[in-house]
Amino acid sequence: MFSIGDLSRRTGVKVPTIRYYEQMGLISAPERSEGNQRRYEKRDLERLAFIRHGRDLGLSIEAIRDLLELSGHPEKPCGDADRIASEHLADVRDKITKLRKLEHELERIVACDGNHTVGDCYVIRALADHGLCEGEH
Amino acid sequence: MFSIGDLSRRTGVKVPTIRYYEQMGLISAPERSEGNQRRYEKRDLERLAFIRHGRDLGLSIEAIRDLLELSGHPEKPCGDADRIASEHLADVRDKITKLRKLEHELERIVACDGNHTVGDCYVIRALADHGLCEGEH
DNA sequence: CTCCAAACCTATAGTCTCTAGAGCAATATA
DNA sequence: TATATTGCTCTAGAGACTATAGGTTTGGAG
């Protein structure tokens, strides 16, 4: 039996966030102590770790909800899980592509030596002047 | 003189977002027409393009506010602008790393042939089991 | 056993960065 | 001039939390 604080420490999910997830129906309302405090079991811990993990990876609450639902029915074909994953994969690749471009731009921008003034700073010029970008953003 | 719609089309920033930026103090309230409509000048366009550009690069509103402030004082050393950009670069690299990991996980998931069930699907296992992660997230 | 700090409870409101809608006014075009 | 488009303000909503207020329970020290 874990208190909400234990759960928080073990999963890295903040206490108010755990309560928020309960409210959102991502985790079910746990048993309560005599004094009405939440008391969790090991499987709650696992479920919350699953959620935390998914959020860290950038999955939306909705995506996680779907996956949790699927994981609760191990006998179903995993086509749905695949579909969800594929959709997310496209998204992730898109994000990576954009971030790579951004990385390159920032690298050039940061390459200045700090021995000059804002007037000729690349950061400012790069942001102000569309003509300096490599990409199409 | 541009209307808010012109500005929107030229910068790619949506009309309500422009009004939002005005409200947040990122851009100053422009002159108005006889009929109380916003009328912008070239420098407003440039400022908004700067903001848009920064947002595209994933900079926070606060970071952009700082950079705008800096760009208004071209005589200052540009160390701060560099610092803002560098910090952001570190952040971006971190995100890329995490997303790559996720991409690989998702690829493996999607590679499944759909002929099995959720019970042995990698998505579910990968999310549920911390031990399967490559990294430290 | 008693006391007290720490952790917990609920409920509400705020954050951030927009986005959408209602209802009405101004402007541009045919 | 009639009408379509664009603009105005104000309010609310989304998504995923986070903070605060004011009260209750718990766990450990004395």
Q: Does residue B71 lie within 7 Å of nucleic acid chain D, judged by its CB?
A: no
d(CA A68, CA B53): 38
ipTM score for this prediction: 0.65
Helix axes B4-11, B15-23, angle to 10 degrees: 100
Q: Does residue A3 lie within 7 Å of nucleic acid chain C, judged by its CB?
A: yes
Position B30 confidence tier, pLDDT thresholds 50, 70, 90: very high
d(CA A51, CA B130): 11
Our CA-based measurement puts residue B1 at a distance from the nearest CA of chain A, in whole angstroms, of 20
Q: How many CB pairs below 8 Å do chains A and B form together?
A: 175
Q: Does residue B106 lie within 7 Å of nucleic acid chain C, judged by its CB?
A: no
Position A134 confidence tier, pLDDT thresholds 50, 70, 90: very low
d(CA B1, CA B81): 31
Q: Where are the domains of chain B?
A: 4-76
Measured between beta carbons, the chain B residues lying within 8 angstroms of A115 are 77
Mutation to test the A interface, candidates B46, B66, B78, most A Cβ within 10 Å: B78
Lowest mean pLDDT among A6-10, A39-43, A62-66, A116-120: A116-120
- Asked if B116 and A46 come within 8 Å (Cβ–Cβ), the reply is no
Among chain B residues, CA nearest to A111: B82
Q: What is the mean pLDDT of residues A67-91?
A: 69
Task: Flag whether pLDDT at B101 surpasses 70.
Answer: yes
Please give the full DSSP string across chain A, using - where no structure is assigned.
-B-HHHHHHHH---HHHHHHHHHTTSS---EE-TTS-EEB-HHHHHHHHHHHHHHHTT--HHHHHHHHHHHT-TTSBTHHHHHHHHHHHHHHHHHHHHHHHHHHHHHHHHTS-S-SBGGG-HHHHHHH-GGG-SS--
- Asked if A57 and B133 come within 8 Å (Cβ–Cβ), the reply is no
Please give the full DSSP string across chain B, using - where no structure is assigned.
-B-HHHHHHHH---HHHHHHHHHTTSS---EE-TTS-EEB-HHHHHHHHHHHHHHHTT--HHHHHHHHHHHT-TTSBTHHHHHHHHHHHHHHHHHHHHHHHHHHHHHHHHTS-S-SBGGG-HHHHHHH-GGG-SS--
Measured between beta carbons, the chain A residues lying within 8 angstroms of B123 are 67, 70, 78, 81-82, 84-85
Percentage above 90 pLDDT, chain A: 32
d(CA A87, CA A63): 10
Question: From the alpha carbon of A33, which nucleotide's C1' atom is closest?
Answer: D25
Measured between beta carbons, the chain A residues lying within 8 angstroms of B87 are none
Question: From the alpha carbon of B1, which nucleotide's C1' atom is closest?
Answer: C27
- pLDDT tens column, B31-71: 999 999 999 999 899 889 888 888 876 777 887 887 787 77
Average pLDDT, chain B: 76
Which tokens sit at B26? 């990122």
Q: What would be the CATH architecture of the domain defined by A4-76?
A: Orthogonal Bundle (1.10)
Question: From the alpha carbon of A34, which nucleotide's C1' atom is closest?
Answer: D25
